[in-house]
Chains A and B, each alone.
Chain A
Amino acid sequence: MKKIISHVAFGLLGLSVSAAVVAGPAEDRAAFQKFYENRFPDTPVADFQNGVYSILPAAREQWEEIEEFPPYELAIERGEEIYNKTFANGKSLASCFGDDGAVRGQYPYWDRDRGMVVTMELAINECLEANGEKPLKYKKGAIADVGAFMSYNSRGQKVNVEIPSDDPRALAAYENGKEHFYTKRGQLNFACADCHMYTAGNMYRADTTSPAFGHATSWPVFRSKWQSMGTLHRRFAGCHNNIRANPYKAQGEEYRNLEYFVTYMSNDLEFNGPAARK
């Protein structure tokens, strides 16, 4: 209890200090990362991109066994087929994203023209629709398979989300995501930060919560619980259901802004998707 209180105080203090100094996202991120380094001193910083396996040795062993031949390999193969399939107009996803689709590191980004956050899944569907093809559902199935293929080829790319300083709407989107992260919601009245920051590493009914630092690097994910691939927004919705809050629309503004914030917080880590998780 004492440990939690001091971490809560540190977390809040760190952020409120930065607000007082009129500092912005960069300072938020430094404080965010420092929080997790302090809470999990035995975890090398780069390892946080492995989620809960960076803080739980017993679970990590099982994960490493699964990694010997991970279930997402089948998704990568399916994704490659879909990626290279020609549209009715003769083009393919490769026409939008290049031969190998190694573009994970470019998302999410702030689109100045349209004044919105663009994620990789959104971009995939925009490519399909621009070429007269039917858009994909955003949580699982083909979108997750294609994402697996593109993420796999992008492994190692640095997370490098930019919040252009000369467009106040970008900062507003970031702040919207940040507010979401720290706001209590649902019947269980939890904020993302409650489970994934202040009490990250604690057990909640036989599950250990993962640190939010590193959360966005490994998507899409083959989740044992789903026995299928899923996107980040599928998980956002699932989490909201867990705490009995109304989930938002996948690839709607709220989740895109949340992804913008959460991914920015992991800047300088590497994209390491697709991944296998519990």
Chain B
Amino acid sequence: MDRRSVLKIAGAVSAATAAMFAVPRMAFAAYSDAIFKQKAGADALQNAYGANATTPSDQVKLKAPDIAENGAVVPVSVETDMDAESIAILITENPSPMAITADFPAGTKAMVKTRCRMGKTTQVTAVVKSGGKLYTASKEVKVTIGGCGG
């Protein structure tokens, strides 16, 4: 989303909010279809971070359930002690694997917690961008349809 479009929309919104979105965001990965409607996770990473080569690291702490209570609301959290600018979460079997990117200015902890939607059993991968490199941790989250609907 370029500055011009943001400012056009901002006309309908309070000055404060407009100012916030008009803040130079070159350092941050804002929403774009190229990232979030991208079928290939590697391409999504490339478009988000300018790179897609990843290295597994046990410094990436990914927390997600082994078996999701409900695929519509799966708590996922990622954090790291590394000096990190951004964290992304990829859900392999989702229509567009890149679920979220979160960016941390100086002074903000490299941590994000959210709740994800998963249609079926899938690998969930946390990507940490630190020093221009991408580090990952991954686990499988099982999604089942229980018998007790109603």
- Chain A positions near chain B (C-beta within 8 angstroms): 58-59, 61-63, 65-66, 68, 71, 204-207, 209, 224-225, 227, 235, 237-242, 278
Q: How far is the CB of A104 from chain B (nearest CB, A)?
A: 24
Among B75, B115, B148, the residue within 8 A (CB) of A207 is: B148
Are A58 and B67 within 8 A (Cβ)?
Answer: yes
Q: State how many angstroms separate the Cβ of A64 from the closest Cβ of chain B.
A: 9
A58-B65, A58-B67, A62-B65 are contacts. A227–B146 as well, Cβ < 8 Å? no
Within 8 A of A (CB), among B126-150: 144-150
Q: Which of A59, A71, A206, A237 contacts B147 (CB 8 A)?
A: A206
Q: Are A242 and B149 in contact, CB atoms less than 8 angstroms apart? A: yes
Per the CB 8 Å criterion, the residue count for chain B at the interface is 20
In Å, the complex CA distance between A66 and B74 comes to 9
A207, B146: Cβ atoms closer than 8 Å: yes
| A63 contacts B72, C-beta separation under 8 Å | no
Known interface pairs A58-B65, A58-B67, A62-B68; A224-B73 also in contact (CB < 8 Å): yes
Q: Say which residue of A61, A224, A237 sits within 8 Å of B65 (CB atoms).
A: A61
Chain B residues proximal to chain A, CB less than 8 Å: 65-70, 72-75, 77, 113, 115, 144-150
Q: How far is the CB of A59 from chain B (nearest CB, A)?
A: 6
Q: Which of B67, B75, B147, B150 contacts A65 (CB 8 A)?
A: B75
Q: Are A224 and B69 in contact (CB under 8 A)?
A: yes
Interchain Cβ contacts under 8 Å between A and B, 6 examples:
A63-B69, A204-B147, A207-B147, A207-B148, A240-B150, A278-B69
Chain B, residue nearest A71 (CB): B73
Shortest beta-carbon distance, A71 to chain B, in Å? Answer: 8
Report how far A205 CA is from B144 CA in the complex, Å.
9
Which residue of chain B has its CB nearest to the CB of A240?
B150
CB nearest to A61 among chain B residues:
B65
- On whether the beta carbons of A238 and B149 are closer than 8 Å, the reply is yes
Residue pair B148, A204 in contact (C-beta under 8 Å): yes
- Going nearest first, the 6 A-B pairs with the smallest beta carbon separation are A238-B150, A205-B147, A207-B146, A224-B70, A65-B75, A206-B144
The residues of B that contact A240 with a CB separation of less than 8 Å are 150
Q: Which residues of A contact B69 (CB under 8 A)?
A: 59, 62-63, 224, 278
Shortest Cβ distance from residue A139 to the other chain B in the assembled complex, whole angstroms: 11
B75, B147, B148, B149: the one within 8 Å of A66 (CB): B75
Q: Which residues of B contact A71 (CB under 8 A)?
A: 73
A224-B70, A278-B69 known; A62 vs B146 contact (CB < 8 Å): no
Residues of B within 8 A of A205 (CB): 146-148
Q: How far is the CB of A141 from chain B (nearest CB, A)?
A: 17
For the complex, give the distance between the alpha carbons of A240 and B148 in Å.
Answer: 10
A-B contact sample (11 more), CB < 8 A, given A59-B69, A62-B69, A235-B150: A61-B65, A68-B113, A204-B148, A206-B147, A207-B147, A209-B148, A224-B69, A225-B70, A225-B150, A238-B149, A238-B150
Report the Cα distance A206→B146, complex, angstroms: 5
Residue of A nearest to B115 (CB): A66
Cβ B65 vs Cβ A66 within 8 A: no
Q: How far is the CA of A68 from the CA of B115 in the complex (A)?
A: 12
- Alpha-carbon distance A227/B71, docked complex (angstroms): 11
Q: B150 contacts A239, CB within 8 Å?
A: yes
- Nearest chain B CB to A154 CB, angstrom units: 26
CA distance A139 to B149 in the complex (A): 15
Q: Given the complex, which residues of A lie within 8 Å of B150, measured CB to CB? A: 225, 235, 237-242
Q: In whole angstroms, how far apart are the Cα atoms of A58 and B74 in the complex? A: 13
Q: Which residue of A lies closest to B70 (CB)?
A: A224
How far does the alpha carbon of A59 sit from the alpha carbon of B142 in the complex, in Å? 13
A206 touches B145 (CB 8 A): yes
With beta carbons under 8 angstroms apart, the residue of B68, B77, B115, B147 that contacts A242 is B147
User: In the complex, what distance in Å separates the CA atom of A267 from the CA atom of B74?
Assistant: 33
